[in-house]
Amino acid sequence: MKGPLGKKVATPKKFDPKVLFPISRTEQRKGVFDKTDINNIKGDDVWNIHELLWIDKKNNSHHKELSIRLNCTSKNTVESKSMKLFLGSLVYRQFKNISDVKKVIKRHIGAVTKSKIKIGKIYTKQDAAECEIKIPSKVKPLTESSYTACKRKNFKTYVFKAFRSLCPVTNQPDIADIYLVADLNSQNKRDISEYLGSFFEKNGFHERCVEEIFLELKRKKYFIKSIEGYFERRGGIAIIPRRYSV
């Protein structure tokens, strides 16, 4: 069974958690992870929900912004369009308060992903030193870093703006800012700039792109603590995969 992404799907006219469609992380990671990689990273996927509507017991409507956080070790993630359809269907059920809304969201997404779900405030972008992304004329592998950091590494937050990849289902562009907490010299930044530019015509879900970048930087001996891919929102939902070294 295929999910609703890339298809014309009717908006639910009743509360319908069955529209949630799981995507296996194992399948998503094929060709990126080896058997030991999953033990060397941690992190989560933050879903910023900007257009959550819910109805109370007096039939009053409410607008809430919140974030849904899913651990990267979960068995499944959720297809983005099915998430939008599920959240949109909440208006066909009445709730006592926002706490009840959150409980329902956590229960149904947790059941699909086989993982505990956290709900919190909207996640915002960090302050960071800006770096450009260069689109290479010819795609080539990331150069191994020759930078030898001092014993006490000088970690800073960098943001490589205007990253682009392509949705593997619709082939539409996904735009993001890529945040790195890292110790980088000037040559590192130039090499990373071109490496990120190599995704310009590459297909990949948000989570896969971020994990692929993080693991490749680690394999090529860059001093990286963490990565965040802050993808622009669609349909009121922004997805921010975050990964860290163990």
Per residue in 133-156, pLDDT tens? Answer: 999 989 889 999 999 877 667 899
Greater model confidence, 246 or 57: 57
The mean per-residue pLDDT over the stretch 215-238 comes to 95
The mean per-residue pLDDT over the stretch 67-86 comes to 95
What is the CB neighbour count within 10 angstroms for residue 54? 22
What is the CB neighbour count within 10 angstroms for residue 74? 20
Q: Does residue 85 sit in helix, strand or coil?
A: helix
d(CA 90, CA 86): 7
Please identify which residue in the block is written with the tokens 């490749």: 216
d(CA 175, CA 165): 7
- The confidence band for 36, taking pLDDT boundaries of 50, 70 and 90, is low
DSSP letter at 6 equals T
- The confidence band for 176, taking pLDDT boundaries of 50, 70 and 90, is very high
Nearest of 65, 69, 71 to residue 49 by alpha carbon: 65
Residues 6+ apart with CB under 8 A from 91: 53, 54, 55, 61
d(CA 105, CA 87): 8
d(CA 243, CA 178): 12
Please identify which residue in the block is written with the tokens 């933050």: 46
Please identify which residue in the block is written with the tokens 């809304």: 101
- Lowest-confidence pick of 22-36, 47-61, 86-100, 230-244: 22-36
Overall pTM surpassing 0.75 (yes/no): yes
- Under a CB-based contact definition with an 8 Å cutoff, are residues 246 and 42 in contact? yes
Nearest of 155, 179, 176 to residue 43 by alpha carbon: 179
Residues 6+ apart with CB under 8 A from 47: 67, 68, 69, 70, 83, 237, 238, 239, 240
Counting residues of the chain whose pLDDT is more than 90, the rounded percentage is 82
Paired tokens of 57: 């017991």
- Under a CB-based contact definition with an 8 Å cutoff, are residues 3 and 82 in contact? yes
Provide the annotated active-site residues: 167, 174
Most confident stretch, 6-20, 36-50, 61-75: 61-75
Q: Indicate if the alpha-carbon torsion angle 168, 2, 22, 119 is positive or negative.
A: positive
Q: Which residues pair with 224 in a beta bridge?
A: 182
On the question of pLDDT at 87 being above 80, the answer is yes
- The confidence band for 4, taking pLDDT boundaries of 50, 70 and 90, is low
Per residue in 156-174, pLDDT tens? Answer: 999 999 999 999 988 999 9
